[in-house]
């Protein structure tokens, strides 16, 4: 049994449920501890009765140390501040041998067990950004990404975790300052400061918009396989990090601010968007994520052709989507 934890509020509810569904679909044996960061998401998740999940409310989880800094952090910064504490809570409250933190906007395409085999020796697992060169933000955002991290219930791993928790409570803001950035830049020194820190080696863990340009993808026997362009090394895609996916008004999505090719969109993004659309429909309008406006130029053009699209959906929608292709903006119809 592999133990995972994640945290999200109502804004990320559909993404959190998509994460859970993907684990149910692919993980051989797992349990997901979900920290609901507002009452609305907690109540809905309770009603969902997820068989492989334990729900934890803020009231249960928050301690004096976290509450003492809560008012000084934005909503996002407080989530970052709390990440290490959620892992520690699970290990101690449920007496777990290990716990792996998952960002709520991850989505699994294969069993994560193959990744966790790398830390069966009880080491602490961290994952690199593996930035594509032109997107490299290692100096500001850090070499490693807080997205898929494993800590074990042993002295050395808990030492790392406790140190990280202390650092995040002391300082965790969405800005680069004095060699720090959020909860993430702290990880840069772990290999020097602690023992048994393991960098994930499997290329199928940690594929994300900032590195996906390095790979080609194909589907073979319902498995998503990637090939690293520089080495020709083939791997199975285990999870993808849907960072900065935006829900725009009138059923449009901005997939990424990074370069994406058509095959990546068809093979990786399409199943995820389909899952999100299905979940949103089930949740209803009360739980639709906050929709962001398109840019002024895009929004103006949108209304110019709105009536044409409504009247001639089939021929004109494809043209319309092509207009916004360079911005990775697509209508939901592209994924249905």
pLDDT band at 5 (very low <50, low <70, confident <90, very high): very high
Burial of 49 (0-12, 13-18, 19+ CB in 10 A): exposed
DSSP 293: P
The whole-angstrom separation of Cα 153 and Cα 24 is 25
- Report yes or no on 328 lying in a domain: yes
Arithmetic mean of pLDDT, 98-124: 98
Are residue 140 and residue 254 in the same domain, yes or no?
no
pLDDT band at 288 (very low <50, low <70, confident <90, very high): low
Could you tell me the residue range of the domain that residue 317 belongs to?
A: 244-335
- Report yes or no on 176 lying in a domain: yes
Pick from 90, 110, 92, 111: nearest CA to 100: 90
DSSP 288: P
- Report yes or no on 287 lying in a domain: yes
- Report yes or no on 63 lying in a domain: yes
- Report yes or no on 107 lying in a domain: yes
Are residue 187 and residue 255 in the same domain, yes or no?
no
Are residue 18 and residue 145 in the same domain, yes or no?
yes
Pick from 241, 247, 238, 209: nearest CA to 14: 247
The whole-angstrom separation of Cα 264 and Cα 215 is 9
pTM for this model (two decimals): 0.90
Are residue 258 and residue 124 in the same domain, yes or no?
no
pLDDT band at 304 (very low <50, low <70, confident <90, very high): very low
Sign of CA dihedral 249, 255, 257, 261: negative
Are residue 174 and residue 302 in the same domain, yes or no?
no
- Report yes or no on 82 lying in a domain: yes
Rounded alpha-carbon distances, angstroms, from residue 61 to 67, 72, 85, 92: 10, 19, 9, 12
- Report yes or no on 25 lying in a domain: yes
Are residue 288 and residue 145 in the same domain, yes or no?
no
* Domain count of the fold of the chain: 2
Here the CATH number for the domain that contains residue 63 is 3.90.550.10
The pLDDT of residue 208 is above 70? yes
Are residue 56 and residue 126 in the same domain, yes or no?
yes
Q: Where are the alpha helices (DSSP H) in 62-143?
A: 64-70, 75-93, 113-116, 138-141
pLDDT band at 197 (very low <50, low <70, confident <90, very high): very high
């Amino acid at each position: 049994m592999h133990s995972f934890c994640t945290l999200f509020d109502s804004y990320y509810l559909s993404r959190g449920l998509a994460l859970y569904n993907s684990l149910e679909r692919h993980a051989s044996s797992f349990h997901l501890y979900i920290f609901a960061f507002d009452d609305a998401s907690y109540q809905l998740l309770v009603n969902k009765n997820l068989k492989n999940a334990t729900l934890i409310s803020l009231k249960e989880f928050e301690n004096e140390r976290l509450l003492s800094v809560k008012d000084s952090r934005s909503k996002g910064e407080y989530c970052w501040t709390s990440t290490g504490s959620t892992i520690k809570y699970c290990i101690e409250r449920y007496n777990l041998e290990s716990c792996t933190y998952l960002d709520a906007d991850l989505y699994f395409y294969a069993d994560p067990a193959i990744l966790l085999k790398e830390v069966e020796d009880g080491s602490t697992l961290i994952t690199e950004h593996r930035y594509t060169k032109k997107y490299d933000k290692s100096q500001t955002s850090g070499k490693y990404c807080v997205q898929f991290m494993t800590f074990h219930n042993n002295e050395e791993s808990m030492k790392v975790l406790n140190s990280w928790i202390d650092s995040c409570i002391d300082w965790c803001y969405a800005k680069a300052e004095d060699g720090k950035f959020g909860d993430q830049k702290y990880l840069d020194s772990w290999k020097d400061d602690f023992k048994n820190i393991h960098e994930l080696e499997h290329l199928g863990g940690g594929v994300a918009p900032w590195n996906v340009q390095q790979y080609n993808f194909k589907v073979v026997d319902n498995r998503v396989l990637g090939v690293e362009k520089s080495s020709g090394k083939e791997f199975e895609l285990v999870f993808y990090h849907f960072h900065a996916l935006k829900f725009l008004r009138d059923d449009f999505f901005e997939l990424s601010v990074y370069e994406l090719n058509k095959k990546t969109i068809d093979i990786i993004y399409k199943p995820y968007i389909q899952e999100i659309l299905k979940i949103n429909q089930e949740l209803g309008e009360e739980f639709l994520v906050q929709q962001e406006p398109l840019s002024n130029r895009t929004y103006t053009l949108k209304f110019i052709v709105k009536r044409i699209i409504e009247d001639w959906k089939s021929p004109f929608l494809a043209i319309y989507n092509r207009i916004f292709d360079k911005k990775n903006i697509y209508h939901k119809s592209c994924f249905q």
